[in-house]
Amino acid sequence: MVTEDRETQIVQAAELIAEVGQTVVFTGAGVSTESGIPDFRSPGGLWSRFDQADFTIDRYIASPQARQKHWRFLMAGGLFKNCEPNAAHRAIAELEALGLLDCIITQNIDNLHQKAGNVPERVFELHGNMRWIRCLDCGNRFPLEEILDQSGASAEAPPCMHCGGILKPDVIFFGEALPEEILEEATRRAIRCELMIVVGSSLVVYPAAYMPAYAKQSGAKLVIVNLTPTPADEMADLVIHGSAGEVMGRLVAEVRRRFPGSA
C-alpha cells in the first residue's frame, strides 16, 4: 500500500528523474527477492543451505569435492532457472525505454535486468552472472546451457572444452577480486551521474556499497528505495521505504503521467 507520505516522495523522485534526464540505478538483493530468489544472507538464503567455505575461490580451485557440489547445484537447476523479472525489473527497463537511464550497477547475479529488456551493455554486474561459466585456465566464457548440454545427465563437472581446464560459474567467490574493468566503469558512471537511485540494497557489502557514496560526494542527488534502513540513509536526499516492485512501478508510472515529454 502506498501511503500519502510515500506518494509525495515518489512524486519528488519522479521530478528528479525528469530533471536530470539520465539516472544511474544501483540494485541489490531486494530487487531479486520479489522474483523468488532468496537473499543470500537472509533465513533460507544460500548461506543457510550451503557451507560458505565451499564458495571461496581457493577451496574451489583446490578441491574437486567443492567443485562437484557446485556442479550438482547447477544440474539441479541452480537458483535462477525458472525465475522471471518482477515489477521492479520491468520499471527499470522502462526507464531505459524512455531514454532516462544511464546504466544499472547491480550486485545481483541472476541476469533478470537483461531478461526484463535492459541492454546488456548498460548493466554493470559487480558480482558476475550465474548464467555464464568461465574457464579458470584459458579464460573462455560459455553460456551455462551450453555446458549443461555438453555434460548431458552426467553428475561429473566437465572440463573446459577448449583446454581441459577448470570451469567455474562466472560469479565472484569469497576471496576473489571484483572484475576490474567493470568496477572501474561502474565507479566512473557513479562519479559522473547527477542522480542515483538505490533499489533493494542494504548497502553493507563492499566495495559495491561505495557506489552511492561516490555519487553523492560528486554532487549527485541520491534516492534510496528499500524495505529497511541502510547505512547511507543519512546522506540520501530521499529515502522511500517499501518493496522494490511497488515503489519502482509507481515511480515510473508517475514519470510517464507527469512528464510525458521526458523521453
Neighbours of 42 (CB within 10 A): 12
Alpha helix locations (H) across 21-176? 29-32, 46-49, 57-62, 64-75, 87-97, 112-116, 144-151
* 241 tagged catalytic: no
**Alpha-carbon distance values, 194 to 20, 163, 257 (Å):** 6, 46, 22
| The one catalytic residue among 70, 127, 162, 241 | 127
Which neighbouring-strand residues pair with 143? 132
How far is it, in rounded angstroms, from Cα 34 to Cα 188?
Answer: 29
35, 86 Cβ separation under 8 angstroms: yes
Q: What are the catalytic residues?
A: 127
